[in-house]
Structure 1
């Protein structure tokens, strides 16, 4: 019997909802709890729950949700430093964490203590629910622990809700300054009352039941999309000096003067940190921990009580130097910092030219300091998930960060798709709609997102579900673009006609190329997802742009608009996209890409990549060196600037610097040749260098490569992960190769494979290279030149 369509739809929806419930966490009747007031903004609330365990449970996973951040202790021991993610998985959703408490529990009396920080304002990174709250559920086997009115609660009196910070507009940082008065401290409220016998919570309040799980205003609960922060604990600074005279100091140090002294505490490089201090002081002294970073929007302020005391400012900041303002009479016993962040920087690049080794390291630092709740434009001034910035970061992520970085990229894709405005892919998630009530579409960035973020994420990870989720929205967005009678797309301005901060941008042809690249990426998605019917719409547009671009935008020595002055971005993108004719490559390199330097870092890497694609690696490195030399030569600087022109300006740690992508892909020469790095290419192009080392943290495992060359020998060492196949290229270097040894055995001589080796085969030989295919394992190639 044939089911009616309406019946099928109903059954499908029912099964889908049942599946969703089966895979969602059980909250039973746990309640959102808070004080009577909805907020107020910038409120810190302490929660405690004492309970008795007859035995340690086999499993002790707790589900915890808050608006906005929390710190968790069990029996006085810190379990989690800064849990929670800024709201914005999608409209009307709230992230929750899954935390394993087993190793912190003990038989008998236990205490869970949670400090919740409610931001209470919507800005770029956070979509405020309008109410602070805590939701907790844990199944300990013989008993269930859940948030309800049996918990104890107290608005923490030491934290000042009027601390300010974050900047004066919604275009700035969501968080606030931390201002803590130790004279109003709650004491050691995180520990067991029975165990330490030094805390009594009888005068604490009974929390108010504010709502149920998945209810408004917090919305549907979504599991945390990334691992908890990599918390490296409290450590010493690299050095401590008095700011006034640069005199080095040792701790303990007492300010015996009558005035305020500032201690400059140096970090090894630009990091996301929370500053810590331990002092001996009289009551009422004010100590401030701030960054020398001119764009820093946050600081920590500590007002002392009598005696020895400690303080850590929980609102993270970043920069190179923390400045502690120490009042007269205060003795400093310890100054430390806690470095936290998303995963680890496991990728690495080193070469015989120290300039490029340092540049790659600075670029990696820049990428990492711009990653937290989401990838962001900068960690100090805005912290916004601008998808054009993420597009620039994407290539570098797969050469620099571990799996947590890839998960954060997936989160950025999902957030962007969820916060689209109708069919418009916005430039910012949660987006301008969250705090300005209008679209944030920057057309160039929205188009970059399709090719450089979504497709490259899938190609590097093989995560098909994320592709499936993004594809329908991408196709709808591309259909918003109209075609003109000249066979090219009509220009869309978005909310601002912007493509780059540099000089003389040529918006129209740049967007034509980015639209063409987005169409091609979407075509690949359609094929991958078996959406062949969509090719009927995609192919004609691709072919139309391909057929008409040259006639409209080739100006004899460059690509661009006829009425615009020469600039390099359009030509670079034309080459990267495949729209440029190869017969123009030499003139484009010599007349445009090498001498013309008008791009900002946002599009600089595109010019460098375009040169590399022609095989003129020395010229690509020359451009890279000229553009970044001023920054690399600054000994104090460890990250890269937002803008080049007319001088270095903006934040000194901006997301869209990507020389590590170019160096890793084209100089180390390692790139995937199939989805999820099942196959990859190892084709180093050392140019003037004599050695290169590269570690690529691929989804299959780390790929480790080292190349060393002399006038008479070329040696390449490769560790290839399980279930991969690599094509290794041995360069002839305009010389004759007498023999090639692999793992100590002579396998090639006089153009022939002399000895067979398991899991190795000769693929090809041409004028420039001899190539071999190798399976997983450790390989050593040595080519001897005549």
Structure 2
């Protein structure tokens, strides 16, 4: 045991906002090996305990932290790669190059230790897990070395990781834990309790036989280079929880050797836990019902009563334990870790739409952890087209942690750019997917700014957007030349769906037009006036040329005998290329009858129907497309493919946008939700309730209607102006009251209510500007 007086430790320079690193990266003497689990211990004496103690910590690749025997951090640190350490160089198959060819910086995080330390002796214990691998679809850049770093300011004195810490490889964890394939970086866990270090996290553990930790260098040392603060909040630890059901129903029970299938409330990212009593040498396997899930846990028992939790997370609807016959099972639990808390809600009088919104939110959460990912089982890859789909609805379903994770996806994507191209699978792989790169501009970057008001991130991102759009060459016909990508690793892909129906020559220019318009708004916001004329020239050129080339009288197509594509035509509406007088023809001839797209585009087709003034058609299409998934017993997330193919939890499934933004009608109209609108278009629904977790605070809207009355209850947060619309289609209003006072009667404003003012009307809504507070709008009239 090492006893150290903190007065002997180095002192942090006063008044510096950045971390002045004095700590060493530490590990065992060897740099790895891959899939290594290393334990660290440090015992210190504290004469006084500061009121506030913040530690700066990082690990390559993950860590778990205990203080005085109590767990403080469950799964700290995140996948490497916030930014390159030096200009990124394009090389063939960059993902399998050695670390020295792709030097990247590393994230660190702040951890509040307040309340965990005490006067006198304190023991800090850490378990660090080094992945030591990359994948061609991964979002983690391998450094080539395992490492852990810790630095805490204890009232002006520093506690740092260095050679005074003790280290020992935890041999209970097998280095070879079974093949997980080439697509994800995490490994299985194979744990032999007969080899474990017993109570090594406890204060009284005897660690004199452990070796001093090996110092690997002070930041910004290679291969971790600069340490950048992770601004995404730590994962929320929901604690060990009981399954909602298991075959034995009660504990304890003796296993009969059959599979024990334990049901989760919904598809979650979990770490499984067990408590058993048995003899040594019993082999237990743990997995899930998800056929794509490759992560497994393998546990070999010791003698007596014991517990085990596998720290490599998996997901599914059921956790399956294979426990040998005769083993006494004392408890089976799981731990759910999530990016923030589930936020927002949607309710209505049609159970189908209420359930699909819930399933969509579950899908979003199971596809978010270190990064947004396409799916949590097969790849865990940050495809930026999938992120753009997630961005369409995360603002209705996630709290600030979700917004910060999107910020991370945007900044990291842009940081790993080269020759104007930003990675479509970042940060690890500089692969261009032209359609996804264009989609990312409007549906991800601009929507992030509109929903958060984060101008710093917009300013950081804008030069990359401008440079990328400038790579596109314009043809003599006034449209952009078709782009297949700039490298051997590029992928000319827009969507799955029904084979032979994709009208790519229309899709790509429509996405480019959409990106141009959003980039122009970015330039206006940031005062980049020098770029406005360039955007206007291309926007004008495309507006004049697009119809001449693709409009076929009832829809858009590059070959009308072959293509009547719902994807291509929905984009003409969403981009603004299709004028309003064409919307109905496009909807009736293509968007309503043709079901060609995958879920990646489905929400955009439904959005185009809403923008065409056909919310009932959008809801019908949603029900037609998703009814097989929504009605399937035991399902809580949405599939990759229609009707139910691929993974059963894929990021690009996002019908929530349609219900929240268009049916309830809640959407920001100025950045950061300083102004937003509520313009409902209820179609056949009669009751709706929506909670939106905006950056300004929760917005709660509840709407009820009958044949002759309409009522909206609104709770609007501080710092906002709400534009509230009373729909003319729901009831032909004769009288409108606000908080019981008559404000409008038979076409005219007749009264006044402090905080509410008229905002005119259009063919769909009578509108009012509304200050923060609690409001009830009621309209009386006759059904039209």
1:338-353 alignment runs, 5 A limit: 338-353=335-350
User: What per-residue deviation string (whole Å, max 9, x for no partner) do you get for residues 25-73 of structure 1?
Assistant: 1222x11111121100000000000000011113311111110000000
Output the CA distance in 2 between the equivalents of 1:162 and 1:585.
Answer: 59
| Structure 1 position 496 matched with structure 2 position 491 | yes
Q: Secondary structure at the match of 2:329?
A: strand
1:441-520 alignment runs, 5 A limit: 441-494=432-485, 495-503=490-498, 504-520=501-517
Q: Is the 8 A contact 1:668 1:684 kept in 2?
A: yes
Q: How much does 1:22 deviate?
A: 4.1
Bigger mean CA deviation after superposition, 712-721 or 738-747:
738-747
* Aligned pair partner of 2:112 in 100, 107, 114: 100
Output the CA distance in 2 between the equivalents of 1:127 and 1:729.
Answer: 49
2:321 is matched with: 324
Output the CA distance in 2 between the equivalents of 1:117 and 1:482.
Answer: 47
2:755 is matched with: 759
1:384 is matched with: 381
Output the CA distance in 2 between the equivalents of 1:426 and 1:510.
Answer: 20
Q: Secondary structure at the match of 1:33?
A: strand
* Aligned pair partner of 1:611 in 606, 609, 612: 609
Q: Is the 8 A contact 1:289 1:325 kept in 2?
A: yes
Q: How much does 1:207 deviate?
A: 1.3
Output the CA distance in 2 between the equivalents of 1:546 and 1:475.
Answer: 20
Output the CA distance in 2 between the equivalents of 1:481 and 1:497.
Answer: 14
Q: How much does 1:90 deviate?
A: 1.2
Q: Summarize the Cα distance change of 1:120–1:421 in structure 2 as closer, same or farther, 3 Å threshold.
A: same
Output the CA distance in 2 between the equivalents of 1:185 and 1:237.
Answer: 27
1:23 is matched with: 17
| Structure 1 position 175 matched with structure 2 position 172 | no
1:206 is matched with: 212
| Structure 1 position 354 matched with structure 2 position 348 | no
Q: Is the 8 A contact 2:393 2:657 kept in 1?
A: yes
Q: How much does 1:745 deviate?
A: 2.1
Q: Secondary structure at the match of 1:340?
A: strand
1:262-281 alignment runs, 5 A limit: 262-281=259-278
Bigger mean CA deviation after superposition, 678-687 or 592-601:
678-687
1:411-450 alignment runs, 5 A limit: 411-432=408-429, 439-450=430-441
TM-score calculated relative to the size of structure 2: 0.93
Q: Is the 8 A contact 2:141 2:428 kept in 1?
A: no
Q: Is the 8 A contact 1:509 1:553 kept in 2?
A: yes
User: What per-residue deviation string (whole Å, max 9, x for no partner) do you get for residues 283-313 of structure 1?
Assistant: 0001111011000010111110011100000
Could you say what the CA RMSD is over the residues aligned between the two structures, in angstroms? 1.4
Q: Secondary structure at the match of 1:688?
A: coil
Q: Is the 8 A contact 1:394 1:452 kept in 2?
A: yes
Q: Summarize the Cα distance change of 1:770–1:151 in structure 2 as closer, same or farther, 3 Å threshold.
A: same
* Aligned pair partner of 2:65 in 65, 69, 72: 72
Output the CA distance in 2 between the equivalents of 1:720 and 1:281.
Answer: 58
| Structure 1 position 162 matched with structure 2 position 176 | yes
List structure 1 segments (4+ residues) > 4 angstroms apart after TM superposition.
Answer: none
2:550 is matched with: 553
User: What per-residue deviation string (whole Å, max 9, x for no partner) do you get for residues 557-604 of structure 1?
Assistant: 221212632211111000111101222222211110011000000111
User: What per-residue deviation string (whole Å, max 9, x for no partner) do you get for residues 654-688 of structure 1?
Assistant: 00011001110000100111111111111111111
Q: Secondary structure at the match of 1:141?
A: coil
Q: How much does 1:75 deviate?
A: 0.2
Q: Is the 8 A contact 1:431 1:440 kept in 2?
A: no
2:162 is matched with: 148
Q: How much does 1:767 deviate?
A: 4.8
1:54 is matched with: 47
2:535 is matched with: 538
2:144 is matched with: 130
Q: Is the 8 A contact 1:497 1:507 kept in 2?
A: no
Number of paired residues? 741
Q: Summarize the Cα distance change of 1:736–1:463 in structure 2 as closer, same or farther, 3 Å threshold.
A: closer
User: What per-residue deviation string (whole Å, max 9, x for no partner) do you get for residues 368-421 of structure 1?
Assistant: 110111111001100000000001110101111001000000000011001113
Output the CA distance in 2 between the equivalents of 1:701 and 1:376.
Answer: 26
Q: Which runs of 5+ in 2 are unaligned?
A: 1-12, 85-103
Q: How much does 1:95 deviate?
A: 0.6
Q: How much does 1:144 deviate?
A: 1.9
2:30 is matched with: 37
Q: How much does 1:344 deviate?
A: 1.3
Q: Secondary structure at the match of 1:428?
A: coil
Q: Summarize the Cα distance change of 1:652–1:544 in structure 2 as closer, same or farther, 3 Å threshold.
A: same
Output the CA distance in 1 between the equivalents of 2:260 and 2:507.
Answer: 49
Q: How much does 1:165 deviate?
A: 4.1
Q: Summarize the Cα distance change of 1:188–1:735 in structure 2 as closer, same or farther, 3 Å threshold.
A: closer
Q: Which runs of 5+ in 1 are unaligned?
A: 1-18, 194-198, 242-247, 433-438
2:203 is matched with: 192
* Aligned pair partner of 1:405 in 402, 405, 417: 402
| Structure 1 position 252 matched with structure 2 position 240 | no
Output the CA distance in 2 between the equivalents of 1:481 and 1:37.
Answer: 48
1:740 is matched with: 736
Output the CA distance in 1 between the equivalents of 2:194 and 2:513.
Answer: 63
Bigger mean CA deviation after superposition, 676-685 or 729-738:
729-738
1:15 is matched with: none
Q: Secondary structure at the match of 1:394?
A: helix
Q: How much does 1:738 deviate?
A: 3.1
TM-score calculated relative to the size of structure 1: 0.93
User: What per-residue deviation string (whole Å, max 9, x for no partner) do you get for residues 441-480 of structure 1?
Assistant: 1100011111111111011111011011111111111111
Q: Secondary structure at the match of 2:115?
A: helix
Output the CA distance in 2 between the equivalents of 1:470 and 1:300.
Answer: 41
Q: Is the 8 A contact 1:734 1:768 kept in 2?
A: no
1:596 is matched with: 594
Q: How much does 1:492 deviate?
A: 1.1
User: What per-residue deviation string (whole Å, max 9, x for no partner) do you get for residues 601-623 of structure 1?
Assistant: 01111110010001111111111
Q: How much does 1:755 deviate?
A: 2.5
Q: How much does 1:754 deviate?
A: 2.8
Q: Is the 8 A contact 1:230 1:340 kept in 2?
A: yes
* Aligned pair partner of 2:221 in 198, 215, 219: 215
